[in-house]
């Protein structure tokens, strides 16, 4: 949750934290309070040495400038609600794990309890902003809860204001958003509330980039945007399989497709599969929504985007096994990168986790290096992913290493799972080769090795396999 100055944010996570910190920076006249139930998270936001709970380039600098001035972090949710005029609800909306819609529908229990708390403790009128990604028409449920529980002289207006930042570039995305989207009821009061939120963003965002639409369009746009982005990745990943089988090169294909101005060059990087807390969750949410509306074909269409992603991950780990003479049992595999993308410490739905799980199922030994992910997080993720293996069994096959070079010592194969800059630029390949078992295999799941670079590695002696390119390319 986030609270702002009169504004507050409920939810001090990957969205609530950076978003409201940037509002505080750009709007010194607004007091921003970010509240969360999670005490250790709030404590981390308040640490004197700025060891913040999330790693995001540029975030520390923003927090240093505002914390204690007009930016505050607190666990006192009630007070945050009472003092705010505008409240951003940025709580998590994970995929439901059980009950109706399990595996697809968004779990709205955090949104609901935050909404109930606002209704219960508010003593003055509020604008409540739905910042979390939610299914279409959630704002209606929020309004029903607020109206049924409000006190006299308390009116609540609800806006939808989905967040489009990507992790790793969040601060830049917030400083210069492609667009800010605000959805409101098309009533007099709804439009007035919309204007007030627009005024906040207008402190630094070009007004032509602030789009105002109806509530339901705004909610659906967020799911649609993520589905379309993920669909591009699944499309290029589907083509990467054809490339590997034919001798075409996915980088060249993507580059050439991207020159069509109707398609454009971005988001066409083949990979081991997309990860992150949003794409899969939001598509499954869209699938569930379509099914609930009896739109079977629509649901199947979007579901295929997630299926293709699962296929891509499976295909990659199988290629590793096949290349290592059809068995990796007892072999040492170094995995470079555990985060779901570069420049974040976030591991939610990281493809790296799936690959490591597959390697462990084949009884390989795995050594892991990631520059940002805390070790406890890695153990927690592997324990969750490996189901029937206990943590002790996992720990007997997995070691966490302090550098990329360390991870590769004594390895039979090296797998690049995250596109960290240091893997692109900072690896001394000759030294890595000298320390590996021979034949020494490299699997690039992130296209960090160009054709020439791959050739250079082959001259050193490596057997190189790159996603979206046939063997020997």
Enumerate the known binding-site residues.
11-16, 36, 41, 91-95, 132-133, 163-167, 222-226, 262, 269-275, 278-281, 340-341, 348, 446
Between 45 and 274, name the residue whose CB sits nearer to ligand UDX. 274
Q: Which stretch binds ligand NAD (CB under 6 A): 86-94, 420-428, 429-437, 453-461?
A: 86-94
- 110 counts as binding ligand NAD under rule CB under 6 A: yes
Tokens standing for residue 49: 């040495």
End-to-end alpha carbon distance in the chain: 49
- For 205-213, the CB contacts below 8 A with 24+ separation are 205/177, 205/180, 209/177, 209/178, 209/179, 209/180, 210/179, 210/180, 210/182, 211/179, 211/180, 211/181, 211/182, 212/182, 212/183, 212/184, 213/181, 213/182, 213/183
Least distance from C-beta 179 to ligand NAD, angstroms?
A: 14
- Note whether 177 and 212 are within 8 A (CB): no
Please name the helix (run of DSSP H) or strand (run of DSSP E) that holds residue 374, with its range, or none. none
- Please choose which of ligand NAD, ligand UDX, none residue 249 contacts, taking the beta carbon within 5 to 8 angstroms, the exact cut-off set by kind: none
Q: Which residue, judged by CB position, is nearest to ligand UDX in the bound state?
A: 276
- Please choose which of ligand UDX, ligand NAD, none residue 341 contacts, taking the beta carbon within 5 to 8 angstroms, the exact cut-off set by kind: ligand UDX
**278 a catalytic residue:** yes
Q: Which stretch binds ligand NAD (CB under 6 A): 90-98, 140-148, 329-337, 416-424?
A: 90-98
Place of tokens 């046939």: 470
Between 7 and 309, name the residue whose CB sits nearer to ligand UDX. 309
Least distance from C-beta 430 to ligand UDX, angstroms?
A: 28
CA distance 364 to 317: 12
Least distance from C-beta 217 to ligand NAD, angstroms?
A: 17
Among 20, 27, 243, 278, the one annotated catalytic: 278
Window 118-137: residues binding ligand NAD (CB under 6 A) = 132-133
Phi-psi region for residue 135, left (φ > 0), alpha (ψ -120 to 50) or beta?
Answer: beta
Beta strand 2-4 with 86-89: parallel, antiparallel or unpaired?
A: antiparallel
383 to 422: interface string for ligand NAD, x by CB under 6 A: ----------------------------------------
- For 168-171, the CB contacts below 8 A with 24+ separation are 168/56, 168/57, 168/341, 168/342, 168/343, 168/344, 169/57, 169/343, 170/14, 170/18, 170/56, 170/58, 170/59, 171/18, 171/22, 171/56, 171/57, 171/58, 171/59, 171/62
| Sole binder of ligand NAD in the list 9, 21, 32, 77 (CB under 6 A) | 77
Between 274 and 338, name the residue whose CB sits nearer to ligand UDX. 274
CA distance 258 to 253: 8
25 to 44: interface string for ligand NAD, x by CB under 6 A: ----------xxxx--x---
- Please choose which of ligand NAD, ligand UDX, none residue 11 contacts, taking the beta carbon within 5 to 8 angstroms, the exact cut-off set by kind: ligand NAD
List the 463-466 sheet strands across, edge first.
Answer: 398-400, 365-369, 332-336, 413-416, 441-444, 463-466
Output the known binding site for NAD(+): 11-16, 36, 41, 91-95, 132-133, 167, 278-281, 348
Least distance from C-beta 9 to ligand UDX, angstroms?
A: 16
Tokens standing for residue 29: 């006249």
- 114 counts as binding ligand NAD under rule CB under 6 A: yes
Residues forming contacts to ligand UDX in the complex (CB under 6 A) are 163-167, 226, 229, 233, 267-269, 271, 274-276, 278-279, 340-341
Q: What is the distance, to the nearest Å, from the Cα of residue 213 to the centroid of all Cα atoms in its chain?
A: 25
Active-site positions read: 278
- The footprint of ligand NAD (CB under 6 A) covers 1, 10-16, 35-38, 41, 77, 90-93, 110, 113-114, 132-133, 163, 165, 167, 277-278
């Amino acid at each position: 949750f986030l609270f702002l100055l009169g504004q507050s944010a409920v939810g001090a996570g990957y969205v609530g934290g950076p978003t409201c910190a940037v509002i505080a920076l750009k709007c010194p006249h607004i007091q921003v309070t970010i509240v969360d139930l999670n005490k250790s998270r709030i404590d981390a936001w308040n640490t004197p040495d700025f060891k913040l709970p999330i790693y995001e380039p540029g975030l520390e600098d923003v927090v240093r400038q505002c914390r204690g001035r007009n930016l505050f972090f607190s666990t006192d949710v009630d007070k945050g609600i009472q003092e705010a005029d505008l409240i951003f609800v940025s709580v998590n909306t994970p995929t439901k794990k059980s009950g109706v819609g399990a595996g697809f529908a968004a779990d709205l229990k955090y949104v609901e309890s935050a909404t109930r708390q606002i209704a219960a403790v508010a003593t003055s009128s509020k604008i409540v902003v739905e910042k979390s990604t939610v299914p279409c028409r959630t704002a209606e449920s929020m309004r029903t809860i607020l109206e049924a529980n409000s006190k006299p002289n308390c009116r609540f207006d609800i806006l939808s204001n989905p967040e489009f930042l990507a992790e790793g570039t969040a601060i830049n995305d917030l400083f210069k958003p492609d667009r800010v989207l605000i959805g409101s009821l098309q009533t007099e009061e709804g439009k007035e509330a919309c204007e007030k939120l627009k005024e906040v963003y207008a402190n630094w965002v070009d007004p032509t980039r602030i789009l105002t639409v109806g509530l339901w369009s705004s909610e659906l746009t967020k799911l649609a945007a993520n589905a379309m982005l993920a669909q591009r990745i699944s499309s290029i990943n589907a083509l990467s399989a054809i490339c590997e089988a034919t001798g075409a090169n996915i980088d060249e294909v993507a580059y050439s497709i991207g020159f069509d101005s109707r398609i454009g060059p971005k988001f066409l990087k083949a990979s081991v599969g997309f990860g992150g807390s949003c794409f899969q969750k939001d598509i499954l949410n869209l699938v569930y929504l379509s099914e609930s509306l009896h739109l079977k074909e629509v649901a199947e269409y979007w579901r295929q985007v997630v299926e293709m992603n699962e296929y891509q991950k499976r295909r990659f780990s199988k290629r590793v096994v096949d290349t290592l003479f059809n068995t990796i049992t007892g072999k040492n595999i170094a995995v470079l990168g555990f985060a779901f993308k570069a420049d974040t410490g976030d591991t939610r739905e990281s493809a790296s986790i799936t690959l490591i799980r597959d390697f462990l199922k084949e009884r390989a030994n795995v050594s892991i290096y990631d520059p940002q992910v805390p070790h406890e997080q890695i153990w927690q993720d592997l324990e969750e992913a490996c189901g029937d293996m206990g943590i002790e069994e996992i720990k007997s096959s997995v070691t966490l290493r302090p550098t990329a070079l360390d991870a590769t010592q004594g390895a039979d194969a090296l797998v690049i799972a995250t596109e960290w800059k240091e893997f692109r630029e900072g690896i001394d390949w000759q030294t890595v080769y000298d320390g590996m078992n021979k034949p020494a295999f490299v699997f690039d799941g992130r296209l960090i090795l160009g054709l020439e670079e791959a050739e250079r590695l082959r001259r050193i002696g490596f057997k190189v396999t790159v996603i979206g390119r046939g063997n020997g390319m």
